[in-house]
Amino acid sequence: MAAVRKIIIDTDPGQDDAVAILLALASPEFDILGITAVAGNVPLTLTSKNALKICELAGKRDTRVFAGASRPLMRTLVTAEEVHGKTGLDGPDLPEPTMKLEAQHAVDFIVDTLMGEEPDTVTLCPLGPLTNVALALIREPRIAPRIKEIVLMGGGFFEGGNVTPAAEFNIFVDPHAADVVLRAGIPVVMMPLDVTHKALTTARRVERFRSMGTAVGTATAELLDFFERFDEQKYGTDGGPLHDPCVIAYLIRPELFSGRQCNVSVETMSELTMGMTVIDWWGVSDRPKNALVMRDIDHEGFFDLLSERLARL
Ligand code: BDR
Ligand code: CA
């Protein structure tokens, strides 16, 4: 097996974030240095608590969880309770966590970790708005060349947006942070809606989780039962898009995904298209290629991986 990869998961759980965290916790490919919570799907107090709940569900109580930014850099926080429910993790009845958050701020943890670990060994996995990552880059620009890679869920191009016609939720919530990250000269892999809208939680796939007969399998099915109802209505599909686990799956099995190197620029000025990821797929500008933008996924392989791994917890 390849060397274990050191990762920091930056997240706003969120049912799909929760499944991504479970996938990472179940996978021996990772040394999870920490989970950093950010405001997004629901406010920070809930996203940080939800991250603890998921670690406890997985029986991984030694995972370190840090709370980060409570609002975007410039804009008012927009949340998504209509998708994720009031708690952000509506669905299963998960107990209040007994694990505690670390005292250190998430942004300080990201900076200290990147400055302390060998350069080029730590991968960041942002699954929510990019506020914590941007703040870390602003606080300590020397971390930029030390980051191995940023693999993030965000954006959309051929699929358009999911929160406005132009913008995907994570980028829309903090477009200025996304702009900072995409201009930092760090290798970025981007999982946009173009990929995640093909990763549908069909009834058959959810039943596979439920029939595991484990606490994690049952909770995952219940999380997805709740999560998919909004998108099924919106898109008229069997199941909803399972966005965030695509990031973790890519790090385990990159061959499940395909895409190309492009320039990605974020709209930060226009109210109409705020947070749009303008992706130069056809290379018609001379802007530098700053991200590997994914467009396709082997969705059967993705759900096989997910089921196989979650069954280990
Ligand atoms: C993204 O927004 C959130 O609602 C999900 O957790 C995912 O990260 C999809 O647009
Ligand atoms: Ca998320």
Coil/strand/helix, residue 254: helix
Check pocket membership of 179 for ligand 1, CB cut-off 6 A: no
Instruction: State the architecture of 5-310 in CATH terms.
Output: Alpha-Beta Complex (3.90)
> Given the structure tokens 């060349």, which residue do they identify?
145
The pair of three-digit structure tokens given for residue 270, joined into one six-digit string: 């226009």
Report the nearest atom of ligand 1 relative to the CA of 196. 9
Contact assessment for residue 139 and residue 107, using Cβ atoms and an 8 Å cutoff: yes
Contact assessment for residue 209 and residue 224, using Cβ atoms and an 8 Å cutoff: yes
Peptide bond into 14 cis (omega under 30): yes
Check pocket membership of 267 for ligand 1, CB cut-off 6 A: no
Report the nearest atom of ligand 1 relative to the CA of 241. 9
Check pocket membership of 131 for ligand 1, CB cut-off 6 A: no
Question: Counting every residue, how long is the chain?
Answer: 313
Q: List the beta strands (DSSP E) in 38-128.
A: 65-67, 122-126
Q: What is the pLDDT along the chain (313 residues), one digit of tens a residue?
A: 568 999 999 999 999 999 999 999 999 999 999 999 999 999 999 999 999 999 999 999 999 999 999 999 999 999 999 999 999 999 999 999 999 999 999 999 999 999 999 999 999 999 999 999 999 999 999 999 999 999 999 999 999 999 999 999 999 999 999 999 999 999 999 999 999 999 999 999 999 999 999 999 999 999 999 998 888 888 899 999 999 999 999 999 999 999 999 999 999 999 999 999 999 999 999 999 999 999 999 999 999 999 999 999 9
Give the number of C-alpha atoms closer than 13 A to the C-alpha of residue 243, restricted to the C-beta side.
Answer: 30
Measured distance CA(82)–CA(138) in Å, rounded: 32
* Ligand 2 midpoint to CA 286 (Å): 31
Check pocket membership of 280 for ligand 1, CB cut-off 6 A: no
- List the domain boundaries for the chain: 5-310
Measured distance CA(132)–CA(109) in Å, rounded: 10
Question: Which protein residue has the closest C-alpha to ligand 1 atom 4?
Answer: 41
* Ligand 2 midpoint to CA 146 (Å): 25
What is the pTM for the complete model shown?
0.98
